[in-house]
Structure 1
Amino acid sequence: MTLPIIFQDQHMVVINKPAGLLVHRSMLDKHATEFAMQMLRDQINQHVFPVHRLDRPTSGLLVFALSSEVASVLTEQFSQQQVQKHYLAIVRGYAPDEGELDYALKEELDKIADKKARQDKEPQQAVTYYKKLAQVELPFAVGRYQTARYSLMALSPKTGRKHQLRRHMAHLRHPIVGDTTHGDGKQNRFIRDQYQTSGLALSCIGLSLLHPVTHEQITLTAPPSEGIQSLCAQWGWQPYTQQ
């Protein structure tokens, strides 16, 4: 597999990470053999430094530095919430038209990967802006209703908590399609069986940040996952890339 490179210069490189690919080797899956970090290193024949993360099932824009100095600058931008991130998601139900959710999240710890982490951390502030782009009603009784409804959402996290978008949409009772942890199993199975589409319907399709050396504003976009594109096409939604 060749990773799609969206931006590259002598200081940094940005890829469109496929869904299902870990960013780097992790205790979360000891049997995984492919990782974005190693694949990119081999592809460009250069050492790379990850500066943020995307969950394994999430596709989209992923930034790597090409030196430890640049990694420091970029990591600071992400940690100080100076990077604008834009996601596209498909969720269950008719979501609200627009809003901002300020709902603190207690850190989710993995039993294996986070076994040495503090177990008693206070919930951390988490803020997400959301906007509905399209909606559809389908003549199928999936849950307790006679029809199935879904919304296409633009999501912009203002903070960077673990699984923030997935947990925030679940809190709004509009879980992201394909979310096996916080989502709706019946809806996930219906989408998979009826539309031959599986996986998490969440993609990071836009990033805006300051170049770590030139300090110019860089705005990057990438197409959403094949799963999102497939559902958009089947439901007659316009091919959204960034809103």
Structure 2
Amino acid sequence: MSPDDDTAAAAQLPPLQLLHQDERLAVVNKPAGLMVHDSKLARGEDDFLADRLREQLGRQIFLVHRLDRATSGCLLLAFDRETASALGKSLMGGEVQKDYLTVCRGWPAEESWQVDHDLDGGPGKPVKKPAVTDFQRLATGELAVPSGEFSTSRYALLRCQPQTGRFRQIRRHLKHLSHHMIGDTSHGDGRHNRIFRMQGVHRMLLHAERLRFPHPDGSTLDVRAPVDAAFQKALDLFGWDVPPGGLQSPP
């Protein structure tokens, strides 16, 4: 495919939703299933969020952080190296606070809790480092599908705040708790994933709902991303509404 063909194909795609934009930075609502940038995980793909944004905005962009391909929601980027560096320092300093929504199997016993469980860096990076995630249970529900000795299958809606940035941290911490994330084909529970696919939900249920961070101009930005139709379909199975919630500061 020629560069002209690539440009024509990109023009046919719907524009990415910008949740905030100013002269120095933007927050985009990343769609689930779209890779952020080219990498070893791309497997020959040629459609990346970074390329789409450059074409859509007609300017250079600098990604401040990453989201997994299957994750949707708030993604922060800068338009110049100085701003990218300032935001990167805020991220490393724990000043960028993140809220995620997810659905897990089972009903966690506590309304709020913290997981402090070291994780390695992923394939080829065996050294374990500290990994901390805060969780809140927002709602519980059941589906009329037998699960083991039980006549129904139980699920919970969670809000999560990772306090560190390890490889697939939320997904792996939920596996550690045996409250596997729904739709996670790498660290989840295949039987429960199939139950949701039977209900018409075919995505991993992890959404970067909210970012709060210091703008280099001295103000503070607080940005939210609405869930997509597939995530909303999962919520509607249980009649769940996402309650408003504040971000927790790192301990």
TM (norm. structure 2) is 0.88
Give the superposed CA RMSD: 1.4
2:214 to 172, 185, 210: 210
Is 1:219 matched up with 2:209? no
Alignment match, 1:45: 58
**CA–CA separation in structure 1 for the residues paired with 2:133 and 2:149:** 29
Per-residue CA distance 1:42-73 (angstroms, 9 max, x = gap): 00100100010001100010011100111111
SS in 1 for 2:241: coil
Structure-to-structure mapping, 1:63-212, within 5 angstroms: 63-95=76-108, 96-109=110-123, 119-121=125-127, 123-193=128-198, 195-212=199-216
**CA–CA separation in structure 2 for the residues paired with 1:228 and 1:242:** 18
| Residues 242 and 35 of structure 1, relative CA distance in 2, 3 Å threshold | farther
**CA–CA separation in structure 2 for the residues paired with 1:220 and 1:6:** 7
Given that 2:120 and 2:167 are in contact with CA atoms closer than 8 Å, whether structure 1 keeps it comes out as no
Q: What is the Cα deviation at residue 2 of structure 1?
A: 1.0
**CA–CA separation in structure 2 for the residues paired with 1:144 and 1:241:** 35
Letter in 2 for 1:38: D
**CA–CA separation in structure 2 for the residues paired with 1:197 and 1:241:** 24
SS in 2 for 1:134: strand
Letter in 2 for 1:73: A
Q: In percent, how many aligned pairs have the same letter?
A: 37
Q: What is the Cα deviation at residue 143 of structure 1?
A: 4.1
**CA–CA separation in structure 1 for the residues paired with 2:195 and 2:158:** 20
**CA–CA separation in structure 2 for the residues paired with 1:54 and 1:170:** 19
Structure 2: unaligned runs, 5 residues or longer = 1-13, 247-251
1:21 to 28, 34, 38: 34
| Residues 89 and 164 of structure 1, relative CA distance in 2, 3 Å threshold | same
Letter in 2 for 1:198: H
Given that 2:146 and 2:153 are in contact with CA atoms closer than 8 Å, whether structure 1 keeps it comes out as yes
| Comparing 30-39 and 199-208, the one that deviates more | 30-39
Q: What is the Cα deviation at residue 224 of structure 1?
A: 2.0
| Residues 196 and 120 of structure 1, relative CA distance in 2, 3 Å threshold | closer
TM (norm. structure 1) is 0.91
Q: What is the Cα deviation at residue 75 of structure 1?
A: 1.2
**CA–CA separation in structure 2 for the residues paired with 1:231 and 1:30:** 29
Q: What is the Cα deviation at residue 138 of structure 1?
A: 2.1
Alignment match, 2:68: 55
| Comparing 232-241 and 144-153, the one that deviates more | 232-241
Given that 1:229 and 1:239 are in contact with CA atoms closer than 8 Å, whether structure 2 keeps it comes out as no
Alignment match, 2:9: none
Given that 1:223 and 1:241 are in contact with CA atoms closer than 8 Å, whether structure 2 keeps it comes out as no
**CA–CA separation in structure 2 for the residues paired with 1:69 and 1:30:** 32
Letter in 2 for 1:21: L
